[in-house]
Amino acid sequence: MRILMVIDALNRGGKERRMLELIKGLINARDRFDIYLISLTDIVEYEHVYDLPIKFEIIKRKHKKDFSIIFKLKKIISGFKPDIIHSWSTMASVYLAAANMFSRIPLVNAVLADAYAQLSLSDKHYLRVKLTTPFSDVLVSNSEAGIRAYRTPLNKSVCIYNGIDFDRFEHLKPVKEMEYEILGGAKNGRSVVAMVAGFDNRKDFGTLINAAIKICAVRKDLIFLLIGTGPELESLKARVPDELLTRQIIFTGQRSDVESILQIVDIGLLITFYEGLANAIIEYMAMGKAVIATDGGGTAELIRDDFNGYLVEQKNETQIIEKLETLLNDQELRIRMGQNGYHWVRRQFDLKEITDQYIRLYNRLLNKGKTTIAFSGPDR
């Protein structure tokens, strides 16, 4: 089966990770897949893409409304003759809807990632989804909340969760090496909590930092690791008092060894304004960590209160502090929640099973004229 995938860029983000994990799953599948991946910018932060046995090409657009991309994609479609076209970003879907208009190759529109609380046509992503829905054969969300948020037709929508290659959690750097590199010395009984996320307007680092400053004032043995980068990094770092910066509230910047860092972490955090299905939460659980996260979007599909973590209200510093205190004061509870999450994600997000769900979807689209297709809800 020949699959053409198109994405805006290969930043270190959730949809990019989700796409690359699927490509890895398809490469290792029993059936043979020829994959042609196109990025519409030259941003390639996942450099291992060059090592994958696929055709990878950058078609750099000159600006956001560079409609010459349509003709370039049309030429590629004509030459590659894909069985399936799989879009991973809303602007890519706009280009592909036009390029594929007369070819009518099945178009998978996998762009329902962020489950905003309020969506309207003033939001560019929502508008693009609405414009491209008539030209899409199926819209894929990585959470049921995403389907509800974008209000896409149920007969065209399907939920397929993120697939995780758990092998990447097995071969990690030594724990002591990570303690000295990240903490500046041995952990020595100190507690470490971490948030792995981009510093952008979707994540509520402001509320987290306020909570961190308050709890660090009374807990000198507590360290916060804020892992990632983004446009709001420097302004948020400036809000941290000098006496806490680098000692108890540590900004690590972008890291390619997050799995190794998580070995020294006791609790995973994800404090946000809105969220789809967060890879960070799945990764915390894959490393056996209890999680505290903001309720909303797809997060409630990952966390069961008192089972594998705690959900907190948006912008609620007090709740964050209370749940942190509960877990920090009860090691047995913390370990039990971490183990519950570990076993649950290993069953629910196994890459082979998620890859099989996509393969079944591809085959259903190719047999569309022969069988009845029913969508909506997680593919099981």
DSSP 228-247: ---TTHHHHHTTS-TTTBTT
What would the two tokens of residue 279 be? 């890879």
Tell which residue, 274, 289, 298, 286, has the closest CA to residue 324.
289
Q: CATH number of the domain at 2-163+350-366, please?
A: 3.40.50.2000
Question: What predicted TM-score, i.e. pTM, was given to this entire model?
Answer: 0.90
All CATH 3.40.50.2000 domain ranges in the chain, comma separated:
2-163+350-366, 171-348
Tell which residue, 298, 276, 285, 289, has the closest CA to residue 349.
285
- The pLDDT value recorded for residue 380 is 40
- The pLDDT value recorded for residue 111 is 87
What would the two tokens of residue 85 be? 């076209």
CATH superfamily label, 171-348: Glycogen Phosphorylase B; (3.40.50.2000)
Contacts 24+ apart (CB under 8 A), 368-371: 368/106, 368/137
User: What is the DSSP code (8-state) at residue 44?
Assistant: B
What would the two tokens of residue 163 be? 């697939």
Residue 315: left if φ>0, alpha if ψ -120 to 50, beta else—which one?
A: left
- Residue 235 carries which side chain, given as an amino acid letter? S
Give tens-digit pLDDT for 304-350.
999 999 999 999 999 999 999 999 999 999 999 999 999 999 999 99
The low-confidence residues of the chain, meaning pLDDT below 50, are 371-372, 380
SS3 of 369, please? coil
- Find all residues with CB under 8 Å of 74, minimum gap 6, and list them: 99, 100, 103
Question: Cβ distance 198 to 228 under 8 Å?
Answer: yes
- Find all residues with CB under 8 Å of 251, minimum gap 6, and list them: 226, 233, 237, 245
Number of separate helices (H) and strands (E) present in the chain: 13, 13
CA distances from 37 to 3, 106, 172, 269 (A): 8, 16, 29, 33
CA 374, 378, 379, 380 torsion-angle sign: negative
